[in-house]
Amino acid sequence: MPFFGPVDGVDLLTRLIAFVVAITIHEFMHAYTAYRLGDPTAARLGRITLNPVAHFDPLGFIFLLLILFGIPALAWGKPVPFNPGNFRDPKRGAMLVAAAGPLSNLVQAAVFVVPLWVAPAAVAAAPPIVQSLLYALVGLNLALAAFNMVPIPPLDGHKILTGLLPDFWYPVLAPLERYGFALLLLVIFVPGFLGINLLGPMIGPPLELLNRLVFPS
């Protein structure tokens, strides 16, 4: 997750809850989709569950706390392993498993925004913690969807792009996964030291569009 801004009090708690919910469902959908497509790897590891503990990554959680206290960083859940060789069509299967994550975030945002559309007066009269939690659940899920669609490994967008491009590109792009996290850090932090923001133009426009479409005006 990209830098989410400093928070305190109620917002700190609700954004923490929102992150746990969003990431748990995101990783669950990766695991469930892989299983339905014929790969039992994640199932054998106990990842087809909505228990947040199964998707907990200690280092990713520490970085989440840094984000919530206003320190720019990345946060993540435990990646879901899968073996494309178990799919009938490895290229298409890997793409569908990857797409399940961001799609789940969009669905979550669509569900949690319903009270803001159908009962705005009730939301306005609700305790601050309820209002904060609703906005955090919607906003964070939209941010995760936009961020994960960036076509840089190990983000889901890279697998989706690899699956959509002609077969010629598959042996070129797929091996980049092994260097995924290092590539992502290079793209984020090296340009940052030079005063260049590469991710902003990739995440900002789709996130702004999603916010306009999902949140009531």
Looking at the chain, the whole-number percentage of residues with pLDDT higher than 70 is: 95
134 vs 137: CA distance, rounded Å? 5
> In angstroms, what is the C-alpha Rg of the chain?
18
171 vs 159: CA distance, rounded Å? 12
Q: Cβ of 38: how many Cβ atoms within 10 Å?
A: 12
Rounded to 10 deg, the angle between the 199-214 and 128-148 helix axes is 130
Do you know the residue count of the chain? 217
How do residues 12-23 score in pLDDT, each as one tens digit? 899 999 999 999
User: In the predicted model, what is the mean pLDDT of the chain?
Assistant: 89
Q: Which residue has the higher pLDDT, 6 or 56?
A: 56
Q: Whose CA is closest to 202, among 148, 137, 139?
A: 148
- Per-residue model confidence (pLDDT) at position 8: 59
What ranges do the domains of the chain cover?
9-214
Q: Are 10 and 126 in contact (CB under 8 A)?
A: no
- What are the b/e assignments for 42-67, b being 16+ CB within 10 Å? beeeebbbeebebbebeebbebbeeb
The two tokens of residue 121 are 């007066």
Residue 49 phi, psi (nearest 5): -155, 155
27 carries an active-site annotation: yes
State in Å, rounded, how far the first CA of the chain is from the last one: 25
Q: Cβ of 9: how many Cβ atoms within 10 Å?
A: 10
pTM of the entire predicted model:
0.90
The two tokens of residue 173 are 């792009």
11, 27, 39, 156: the catalytic one is 27
177 vs 98: CA distance, rounded Å? 13
How do residues 159-208 score in pLDDT, each as one tens digit? 999 999 988 887 778 788 887 777 787 777 776 677 777 778 889 999 99
- Per-residue model confidence (pLDDT) at position 7: 58
Q: Cβ of 108: how many Cβ atoms within 10 Å?
A: 23
Q: Are 70 and 5 in contact (CB under 8 A)?
A: yes
